[in-house]
A and B are shown apart, each in its own frame.
Chain A
Amino acid sequence: MHLSSCRRSLGALVLALLLAPAPARAAGTGRDLREDAQAALNSSLLLLRRMLHIGTQDDVFSHAISVSGREATLEFELAAGRTRAVSLRGGRVFVDGAQVGTYAPGGSLDRAWRRVLADGAQLETRALLVALHNWRGPALSGVELAAKARVDEALRDLGVRAAGAAAPQAVAAAARAERAAERQAVTAAAGSQAIRLEDIAALDTIGRQLRALDDAGSDVAEVVRRTPVQLGDVTVEAGRKVDGNLVVYRGGADVFGEVSGSVVALFGDVTYHRGAVIGKDAVSIGGQVLDKGGTVRGEVKTIARADLESAASNREAPEPRAAPAPAMSALDLVFRDVRNIVAVFIAFAMLGFGTVFFGRRHLEIVADTASHSFGRSFVVGLLGQLLLLPTFAMLVVGLVFTLVGILLLPFAAVAYVIAAIVALVGGYLAVAHAVGETFTRRRMAHGAFVRAPNAYGYLFAGLVGLLGLWAAAALTGWMGPVVIVFRVAAVIVTWIAATTGFGAVLLSRAGLRETFSGRHFGEATDEYLWATPPATPTAARMKMDGK
């Protein structure tokens, strides 16, 4: 297409040269011919300009910079829907989708291209083009040099329409003037104060203190170490750009323009005003970071002077090593374990006595259920434990699907958990009651005197029996591996008791369903008869009387 256009233009040029000196033949046709000739001349000059790269440009309407780990792409939208895309991707250089060269990923060209795109991201299209036209890049060789030449060629003819736009040269000159003014402004600020030897010592101290701050200070310390420090207040004017970091000591940093790196104020404030851009972090040590409408692309950090000093002192004074815990003797171990068992016993006893006091009838029904339907209670308890979580999930889902249920969900969830715990603990206490009752009746059947043959006594005796294995494990703790046997046995017994009790709670509906406990024994045993008032003759006594 370019070749045909060239041919047409050359033809028009030849035609124009032929027609230009010719006299006008007729008024009407002469005007047409002059217009044709003028158009041909313009077209030819346009072609020559393009061939010589002078003056003419493709108008750029918009640009997009796209950077990822895989590629770095710059895309321009030109007039008439055309685009110009330059991309470095996977070791290959593309212009408008066609490969024009290669490069080394992470190499000089890659880094330089990414840097120019990163800097250009903040620029408007016109300024970006100027920056690209002035892009020199690093010293390249071989294929990367050739690739960069193709990239430069692809970007050379691009420009922004003149409406409201300065010529690239003028923009470049303005940019140079701005950079000079920026340097001047910073220098003027720096000259307002003189540095003293004690400042140097203080800066050295600050550096060490910052390095001692593990979470936030090390990066800042690096910035402070590498960057020339400005003394006194520094202002970055609107439209100005500072390449790199800006570190201010004994003054504040007011940013109206752009700083590509971090801004650090040592014992002063950092203020970024509307339109200001700080490319990395805004850090104030001993001051504040004030947001007045600008942008900080990194983090905003404020480090108090006290934190700085304490961090350094902490780093300098190593933490005292914790004194090794004295080795516990066997007696200490036994005493500690027994103390724990006693504490657990007291806790369960208090719970149990409270349960007997307030809900004796329910506790007895659960205990009878566990005693008379032990196997069934155990199986039901086992299933109940397995179904605890699925039931909870179903409860949640069921509530979620109802409007009112959503509101009840928090309460229902808490109530469910409490109910499960109460059922487990209550069931365990009921089993303790059943164990104690059975034990007591047997003792009474053998003629032993029992001081308190009632629910309190049963519960006490049952807890002593159930926790007895734990006590045995505690008392044999000094014996070494033997204790494992006791502990395993204690765990199993406790789990069986809790499971059976839980099942009994479920079967008896928390002690409300009296019939399930199977209180009808048929023939009364001796132990049962001992539960009747002492006036009642028991089988044992009748046997004794018979003798």
Chain B
Amino acid sequence: MGHTAGDADGGTHEDGWEVSTRTSAPPTRNRAVALAITAFVCLAAAAPRSAAAQTWRTITSARQLHGEREMAVHVQYGAGRFRLSPGTGGELYRMEMRYDEDTFIPVREYDPAVPSVRLGLSSRERSGVHVSLGDRRRDGENPPTLDVALTPDIPLTLTLEMGAVEAVADLGGLALRRVTYRTGASATHVTFSRPNPVECEALTIEAGAAEFRADDIANANCARVTFRGGVGKVSLDFGGSWRRSMTGDVTVGIGSLSLRLPRDVGVEVRLNRFLASFDAAGFEKRGGAYYSGNFNSARYRLVLDVNATFGGVEVAWIN
């Protein structure tokens, strides 16, 4: 039942998801680096096409809820500005995108059997997504955009795959079972502005060469948080409403890692670093791990395995 939206020639496209298939194998740390390299190669290979040679198309698409009880949502976007937010009741999703129709094909595939929905853009060329940097620089005018709103009414398994994207994702209020966020060379801000009403198994983030910031992660209500970063500046804020203890695995290659930890949560940091500094203020070291003063008495605990190669790990305590 899958089909692509708004094809100008009236054809039905069954294009696969090239990036998703390329990145579906889950080897660990190399994946983030591979994402970064992929994004870099995509950008480097970008033909400097003039903006005048592009044909812009705007698509607005929405789907009603028809008795679905849960849904797997997969969003893929190569380059541009991406915004994700909770939608209004009654609509499974609402998507609005502006893109170059000579280069990309919009995808909105709904599979009632799983059930799942795929949204985003697919490249017309099988070789991958080619991004015109010139277009990115025309941000003062109208850059490529993708705005997606998802229903807060049913539990979602959410997978986001971003390329060279400026992304702002507010996942607050969505009922999230599992979240996977993969991004290449991007500037990303993920926030959980409101608590997740259901229990989340895992929040997994893989970032290549990126500036990544996640706020109020506790609102995600996830049992496990995994972050793998290649190169970049990373900020993870574990603020929000704590309703369960959490474990985390944070790996950063080259760059700075800023951890914002709530004072009322017991925190254990198991640090594995190489040529990386660590600000241990507020911790006491016992054995090979760092513990916050209230670790034994706190109602909720956060156990973090931190692997840092080059750079620094900074800790800020928040109330």
Contacts and interface: CB of A to CB of B under 8 A. Distances in A.
Interface string B244-257: 00000000000000
A486 interface: no
User: Does more than half of chain B's interface fall in helix, strand or loop, or is it mixed?
Assistant: strand
Contact of A70 (B5, B8, B58): B8
A348 interface: no
A73 B91 contact: no
A329 interface: no
B108 A66 contact: no
Contacts of A83: 3
A68 B67 CA distance: 33
B287 interface: no
Contacts of B58: 66-68, 121
Contact of A124 (B1, B67, B90): B90
Interface in A161-185: 161, 163-164
Contacts of A160: 64
Question: Interface range on chain B: under 10, 10 to 19, 20 to 34, or 35 or more?
Answer: 20 to 34
Given A68-B8, A81-B1, A87-B10, A63 B57 contact: no
B56 A66 contact: no
Contacts of A121: 58, 60, 96
Interface string B1-20: 10101101010000000000
Contacts of B47: none
A212 to B, nearest CB: 22
A417 interface: no
User: Does more than half of chain A's interface fall in helix, strand or loop, or is it mixed?
Assistant: strand
Interface residues of A, number: 32
Nearest to B96: A121
B299 interface: no
A242 B67 CA distance: 33
Interface string B45-58: 00000000001111
A65 B108 CA distance: 12
Interface in A20-67: 60-67
Contacts, number: 81
A62 B109 CA distance: 11
B61 interface: yes
A106 interface: no
Contacts of B67: 163
B66 A75 contact: no
A202 B88 CA distance: 42
A67 B64 CA distance: 21
A142 B266 CA distance: 77
Nearest to A74: B6
A73 B6 contact: yes
A67 B58 CA distance: 5
Contact of B5 (A60, A66, A81, A124): A66
B3 A66 contact: no
B101 interface: yes
A71 interface: yes
A223 interface: no
A62 B61 contact: yes
A315 interface: no
Interface in B1-44: 1, 3, 5-6, 8, 10
B61 A65 contact: yes
B62 A68 contact: no
Nearest to A62: B63
A94 interface: yes
Among B1, B6, B88, B110, find the residue whose CB has the most chain A CB atoms closer than 10 A.
B6
B6 A62 contact: no
A275 B110 CA distance: 26
Contact of B6 (A64, A97, A125, A126): A64
B281 interface: no
A68 B63 contact: no
B62 A125 contact: yes
A64 B10 contact: no
Nearest to B6: A66
Interface string A68-93: 11110101010001010101010000
Contact of A75 (B6, B64, B110): B6
Contact of A69 (B3, B55, B96): B55
Given A68-B57, A161-B66, 18 more contacts: A61-B63, A61-B110, A63-B62, A64-B6, A66-B8, A66-B106, A68-B55, A68-B101, A69-B56, A70-B55, A71-B8, A73-B6, A73-B8, A75-B6, A87-B10, A121-B60, A125-B91, A161-B64
What 8 A-B pairs are tightest by C-beta distance, nearest first? Answer: A66-B6, A62-B63, A68-B57, A64-B61, A121-B60, A64-B5, A65-B60, A66-B59
7 contacts: A65-B6, A66-B8, A66-B57, A68-B57, A69-B56, A70-B8, A164-B90
Interface of B: 1, 3, 5-6, 8, 10, 55-64, 66-67, 88, 90-92, 96, 101, 106, 108, 110
